[in-house]
Each structure stands twice: as structure tokens, then as C-alpha cells.
Structure 1
Amino acid sequence: MFGLSSMTPRQLATQVLNFALVLSTAFMLWKGLSVVTNSSSPIVVVLSGSMEPAFERGDLLFLWNRGMNTQVGEIVVYNVKEKDIPIVHRVVRRFGGGNTPLKLLTKGDNNLADDTELYAPGQRYLTRSEDVIGSVVGYIPFVGYMTILLSEYPWLKTVMLGLMAVTVLLQRE
């Protein structure tokens, strides 16, 4: 027999609990990684070509946000106020530090101008403690490309969920 109809209530409950365990484990790992790295988003995917050749679209980046002494040349990921897409760019200038808050100016390696046009209206630099999510400490090439495909082609999410549902329904017991 195939599918959910052939399952006993106990088997169905076991499947649901196993699925819940997988989801809660992934959530706990994400939250644990966030605490260890001191970053709200310890892993991000490069969405544009602005950092080529250093990083390509789809590269998976690992961030670290402990130690706020960011140097010129360091690659940081930051959020712009009222925009929810993180930006991956290199620090080209720093202001302050020590007793005054560290402020940074960034630029994409593949861009002609610095990021002042990307910042929030009236913002001329990033505040290290407020805007920066973390500094890049490692990456895996192209692993995050599926994230780009899912965001650029929303119908792909439906197809993938449908395939997962069919797979579950057709599993042998």
C-alpha cells in the first residue's frame, strides 16, 4: 500500500513528530550559530555581481560579528534602514573608532562608485555597531544559487513543494 491512508495513527504521529524534530533542530542550529557569531544572520547568499571577482552570485558567505575593529579592505555585510536585503561590500574608508563610534564607507569591488547612493536617505556612512551584520570569514562557491532561483522564479517554490508532497504520499510503508 502507498500513502498516508495506509498509516496507522501512531505511524502518522511519528512522521509528523519526526518532521517537527527536523524543523526545530534546524531552527536551534540557526539560533545557536547566531549567538556564537553575534550576528542576526550568520550565513548569507551573494545576490548580485557587485563583488566579482571576489564573490560570485550564489556564493554562500559565513559571517562573524565579534570584535568591532573593522579594517579597510575587510568585506562586510550590512543592512540599509528600511530595506531587508543585505549588501556584501568592501570597506574603503573608516572614520572614528576608539572613544567615538566606528563609521565605515563601503564599495562593491565591481562598482565604480562608493555605496553612499545605496545608504538610507541622508546617511553618508555605516555605523559599525548598528548597520553591519558581520564580516565575511569564509565562503562556499555557488551553494546558495538555489536561493536566488527561488527568489527570482516564485513558481519554482510551488513546484518543489508539490514534488515533496508527491514524494511523501508515494512512500512505501
Structure 2
Amino acid sequence: MVKKIWSIVTTTVVVIMVLLATLLAGARLLGMQVYTVITGSMEPNYPVGSIIYVKEVDPTTLKEKDVITFMLSENTIATHRIVEVIPDEKNPEYVRFRTKGDNNDIVDTSLVHSKNVLGKVVGMIPYLGYVSDFVQHPPGSYITMAVAAVMIVAVFLPDLIKSAKSDGEEEPSVGETSDENEKLKAEIESLRAKIQETEDTSPTEDNGGNDHENI
């Protein structure tokens, strides 16, 4: 029963890890970037801890109500909704966007230049970002690897123990063979003893006796 429960648990964890890896790595293979929502500015549509999928698009195709991810500053990335598209009158290829967080009362103070747009949000999975961040960064990544190693050992250990026990159970067969060899040796020794007794009563032994008398 315990083995069955453990098998279910390990299988579930492995499936979750494979699914998580697919959701993260698979998205990148499709040309999307994955980010984790760390503030509540876009709640309730994008809860804190969610992961979002961002696809690079032509900025000129973006329109009002689209949710975009952009460089707010050199080291800060933000995800807000477009509330106004402002074309550049001198150069139509350049567009600026006025943005606002769904959970904010006022629009963002600065406009977003098209060159700072990283992409459009095309998907979201609530709260999975917590797990994603945990397994990708220390100490969570170390813990994850340790747990995976323990689970691998736990999966194969019962079979190894069973195999060892099977080898141990086969030892009596070897012992029985050894016993048979010992019996055979005993019979040979017994036969030799009988032959020796026969030789003791033979003329050859008498000659030995005469030699003794001559001494």
C-alpha cells in the first residue's frame, strides 16, 4: 500500500515538473518570453504570481486595450494596458502609447515609446509564477534538484533491494551444491580408506614388515 501511494506521489511530481518545463521552455521555442507578475497593478485580470506569455509584435499593429510588456526604465519591466495610441506625426513608423494598470486609478505618467515595447501579452497562467521562480532560482533550484534526486533513488531503490534479496535467496542452491561436493569427497575418502585397509593385508605390506624385522 505504501509503495503504491509513493508511486502515485512520485508520478504526480514528475508530471508537474515535466509540465512546468514544457510551459516555460516550450513557450520560448515558439518565440515567446515568459515573465512573472510581481505587483498588483494589473489585478484582478493578472494576479500577482501569475506567469504571462509575451510575443514580439510590430508596434504599429498594437491598439487600445492591448496589454503590453515594456521597459519602464533601464532595470524595470512593466506590463500595463494601452489606453491611447499616439502616432508620431513626423514619422509614422514610431508610435507612443499611453498605458495604465487595470488596478491603478490614474494613467502612467510617461508615454511608452515603441522601441521600448518588448511585446504583447498573449497568454497567462495564474499563480504558476511562484513555482516557476522557486525552481529557477536558488535556493529553490537546489531544493528541487535534491528532491528530484531523492525521488529517483526512491523509485529505483525498491527494485534494487528486491534484486539483492533474490540473489540472497539463490545462495542456498550454491550451498546445496557445496554439500553435495562434500558428500562426494567423503565417499572418495571412505573408498580410499577401504583400499588402504586392503593394502595393509596384502603381500606388499608383509614385505614392509620383513624389512622392519631386518632392522
Query: Structure 2 length normalisation: TM-score?
Result: 0.50
Residue correspondence of structure 1 range 11-26 to structure 2 within 5 A: none
Corresponding residue for 1:135?
Answer: 120
How much does 1:150 deviate?
5.7
Query: Structure 1 length normalisation: TM-score?
Result: 0.61
Q: Structure 2: how far apart are the matches of 1:90 and 1:132?
A: 12
Write out per-residue CA displacement over residues 119-153 of structure 1, whole angstroms, 9 at most, x where no aligned residue: xxxxx32122x2111112232222323135568x9
How much does 1:81 deviate?
3.8
List 4+ stretches of structure 1 deviating above 6 A: none
Paired letter, 2:125: I
Higher helix share: 2
How much does 1:74 deviate?
1.2
- Does the Cα contact within 8 Å between 1:47 and 1:148 map onto a contact in 2? no
Matched, 1:65 2:56: yes
Matched, 1:162 2:155: no
- Does the Cα contact within 8 Å between 1:126 and 1:132 map onto a contact in 2? yes
Corresponding residue for 1:106?
Answer: 99
Corresponding residue for 1:5?
Answer: none
**What is the RMSD computed on CA atoms of the aligned residues?**
3.0
Paired letter, 1:132: V
Q: Structure 2: how far apart are the matches of 1:110 and 1:149?
A: 26
Structure 2 CA distance for partners of 1:70 and 1:141, relative to 1, 3 Å? same
How much does 1:115 deviate?
2.8
Of all paired residues, the percent bearing the same amino acid is: 24
User: SS where residue 163 of structure 1 aligns?
Assistant: helix
How much does 1:154 deviate?
4.6
How much does 1:111 deviate?
1.8
The structure showing larger relative contact order (alpha-carbon pairs under 8 Å, at least 6 residues apart) is 1
Paired letter, 2:111: Y
Unaligned runs of 5+ in 2: 1-20, 161-215
